[in-house]
Structure 1
Amino acid sequence: MAEQLDHSTKTPFEGDARQAQHGWMQRRAAMKSMAAITALAAINVGRAEAQPTAHGAQMARGPFVAGGDGTRLFYRDWGTGKPILFCHPWGLNSDIWEYQLTELSEQGVRCVAYDRRGHGRSEDPGRGYDYGTLAGDLAAMIEQLDLHDVTLVGYSMGSGEAIHYISRHGRERIARLVLVSPVAPFREDHSMLDSFTAGLKKDRPAFMAAGVPFFLGKDSGTSPAMAQWVLDQFLIASPKAVIECNRSIAGDDHRALLGKLSIPVLIIQGDHDEVSPLELTGRKLAEAIPGSELRIYEGAPHGIALTHRDRFTRDLIGFMGNG
Structure 2
Amino acid sequence: MPFYDSPVDGARLHYVDHGPTTGPVAVFVSSAYLGYEMWEYQMLPLAEAGYRCVALDRRGHGRSEDTWLGYDLDTLADDLQGLLDHLDLRGVTLIGHSVGTAEVVRCLTRHGTARVDRVALVSGVSPGIVRSPGVPDGIDPALVRADEAAFRRDRAGWFTASADDFFAVGLPGIEVTEAYTRYLIDRCLVATPRAALGIRAVVASLDLTAELPGVAVPVLVVHGTHDTSAPLALTGERIARMVPDGTLKVYENAGHGLFATHAERLTEDLREFLDAASADSGLAQAA
**TM-score of the pair, normalised by structure 2:** 0.89
Bigger share in helix: 1
Task: Report the more deviating stretch, 187-196 or 102-111.
Answer: 187-196
- 2:69 maps to what in 1? 127
Greater C-alpha Rg? 1
Give yes or no for contact 2:101–2:126 (8 Å, CA) kept in 1: no
Structure 2 residue aligned with 1:191, among 142, 145, 148? 142
Aligned: 1:319 with 2:273: yes
Within 5 A, what are the aligned runs for 1:1-323? 62-68=1-7, 69-80=9-20, 81-186=23-128, 187-188=130-131, 189-219=140-170, 220-323=174-277
Q: Which amino acid aligns with 1:253?
A: D
Query: How far 1:216 sits from its partner (Å)?
Result: 1.6
Equivalent-residue separation in structure 1 for 2:43 and 2:175 (angstroms): 22
In the TM superposition, what whole-angstrom CA distance separates every residue of 1:16-40 from its partner, at most 9, and x where no partner exists? xxxxxxxxxxxxxxxxxxxxxxxxx
Structure 1 runs (4+) deviating above 4 angstroms are none
Give the aligned length: 262
Q: Which amino acid aligns with 1:164?
A: R
Q: Among all aligned residue pairs of Structure 1 and Structure 2, give the percentage whose two residues are the same amino acid.
A: 39
Equivalent-residue separation in structure 1 for 2:168 and 2:248 (angstroms): 21
Give yes or no for contact 1:212–1:230 (8 Å, CA) kept in 2: no
- 1:58 maps to what in 2? none
Equivalent-residue separation in structure 1 for 2:168 and 2:184 (angstroms): 13
Q: Which amino acid aligns with 1:293?
A: T
Structure 2: which 5+ runs fail to align? 132-139, 278-287
Counterpart secondary structure, 1:84: strand
In the TM superposition, what whole-angstrom CA distance separates every residue of 1:164-191 from its partner, at most 9, and x where no partner exists? 0000011110010000000031331322
Counterpart secondary structure, 1:236: coil
Task: Report the more deviating stretch, 195-204 or 292-301.
Answer: 195-204
Higher relative contact order (CA 8 A, sep 6+): 2
Equivalent-residue separation in structure 2 for 1:165 and 1:192 (angstroms): 29
Structure 1: which 5+ runs fail to align? 1-61
In the TM superposition, what whole-angstrom CA distance separates every residue of 1:115-138 from its partner, at most 9, and x where no partner exists? 111111111111110100000100
Equivalent-residue separation in structure 2 for 1:119 and 1:228 (angstroms): 18
Query: How far 1:207 sits from its partner (Å)?
Result: 1.0
**TM-score of the pair, normalised by structure 1:** 0.79
